[in-house]
Amino acid sequence: MNIYVTRRIPKEGLEMLKEAFGEFDMNPHDRVLTREELLNEIKGRDGVLSLLTDNMDAEAMDAIGSQCKVISNYAVGYNNVRVDAASERGIMVTNTPGVLDDATADCAISLLFSAARRIVESDEYMRSEKFQGWAPMLLLGKEVTGATLGIIGAGRIGTNMAKKMAAFDMKILYADPSANEELDAMGATHVDLETLCRESDYISIHANLCEATQHLIGEKEFQMMKPTATLINTARGAIIDETALVTHLQNNPDFYVGMDVFEDEPAMKPGLKDCKNAIIIPHLGSATIEARTKMSIMAAANLIDALTDKTPEFLVNKDSLA
């Protein structure tokens, strides 16, 4: 089988691919392939192991060719793949759900606490040698224990975070098109987005990026939120209208944001990096050795199954089989 891996992933998955298919081609650079490189490299492949940084649209699928059976995405999110275009061409699309739930929820929780207790500002304060000793009004933050947490998107990761934060006696609200029995059973309240925005002290986004969630949070929602609220995003950048966010941060110094993902990733919206009330990290939600290793095993297994006439366990588009 002629496969291509668009960027080095942890060795466990690469070893599985080697055992299944022998030597294979992989992006030799430690960077995202340019569009031109991507279209050239994937040409004629039976399967491609792609990353969320690869735009696998209809043009890319045409470049691969009609022999292609599978695009195995090394991520749980697959908004970088035009799934409808893949299904039309009979190309299976797979992802890596479940194994990064703890890592991503933990990352969201780290951002939440860092924002609540102004950890990044405090670190900067120390490094710039401003500390003159304990002071009653120095860098006061906000309590997490007993506050209200609003979860937008109550799937695996949102549920994981809610369960962990319940240990801090947080009141949990969630907004999602479907009710979540696990959250309901632990006393969380299913609310609409407006109620969640108005009542939450902390809001964490865990929805998929799709047409319905693009700019789900914009100027209107910011106006509903408490001026002292903290918003966390470890899902996808474009769920927030970041231009509106920067204006809101500039006008509301007590409103905080913790961001792991960005609308124009890797670029940041102008003004964002100057906002002291923003904590910004480079898309690290799943960045633990454990999660990334499991993702590499899963992505390799998906690719191998698809190319050895088995239905991959984590097939996104069952209609591709028809």
Considering beta carbons, is residue 93 or 100 the nearer one to ligand DGY?
100
Q: How far apart are CA 249 and CA 280, in angstroms?
A: 13
Residue 200 Cβ, how far from ligand DGY at the closest point, in Å?
23
Q: What are phi and psi of 189, to 5 degrees?
A: -115, 125
Residue 213 Cβ, how far from ligand DGY at the closest point, in Å?
14
One residue of 77, 155, 258, 312 binding ligand DGY per CB under 6 A: 77
50 binds ligand DGY (CB under 6 A): no
Q: Which residues pair with 96 in a beta bridge?
A: none
Give just the sign of the alpha carbon dihedral 205, 211, 214, 220: negative
Residue 177 tokens, joined: 């098109």
For residue 122, give the nearest of 145, 147, 109, 141 by alpha carbon: 141
- Crossing angle for the helix pair 289-307 and 101-116, to the nearest 10 degrees: 150
Residue 204 neighbours by CB under 8 Å, 6+ apart = 108, 112, 149, 150, 151, 152, 158, 161, 231, 232, 233, 234
Considering beta carbons, is residue 233 or 286 the nearer one to ligand DGY?
286
158 binds ligand DGY (CB under 6 A): no
Considering beta carbons, is residue 202 or 262 the nearer one to ligand DGY?
262
One residue of 60, 76, 275, 298 binding ligand DGY per CB under 6 A: 76
One of 45, 248, 283, 292 is an active-site residue; which one?
Answer: 283
Contact 255, 248 (CB under 8 A): yes
281 to 193, 234, 259, 316: CA distances (angstroms): 26, 10, 6, 29
Considering beta carbons, is residue 155 or 285 the nearer one to ligand DGY?
285
HSE, CB side, 13 Å, CA atoms: give it for residue 51.
17
Window 236-295: residues binding ligand DGY (CB under 6 A): 285-286
The verdict on whether 265 is a catalytic residue reads: yes
One of 236, 248, 263, 292 is an active-site residue; which one?
Answer: 236
Window 82-141: residues binding ligand DGY (CB under 6 A): 100
The verdict on whether 248 is a catalytic residue reads: no
Q: How far apart are CA 211 and CA 224, in angstroms?
A: 22
DSSP 8-state assignment for residue 9? -
75 binds ligand DGY (CB under 6 A): yes
Considering beta carbons, is residue 138 or 210 the nearer one to ligand DGY?
210
Residue 181 Cβ, how far from ligand DGY at the closest point, in Å?
25
The verdict on whether 236 is a catalytic residue reads: yes
One residue of 38, 42, 49, 52 binding ligand DGY per CB under 6 A: 52
Residue 209 Cβ, how far from ligand DGY at the closest point, in Å?
9
Contact 115, 232 (CB under 8 A): yes
Binding residues vs ligand DGY (CB under 6 A): 52, 75-77, 100, 285-286
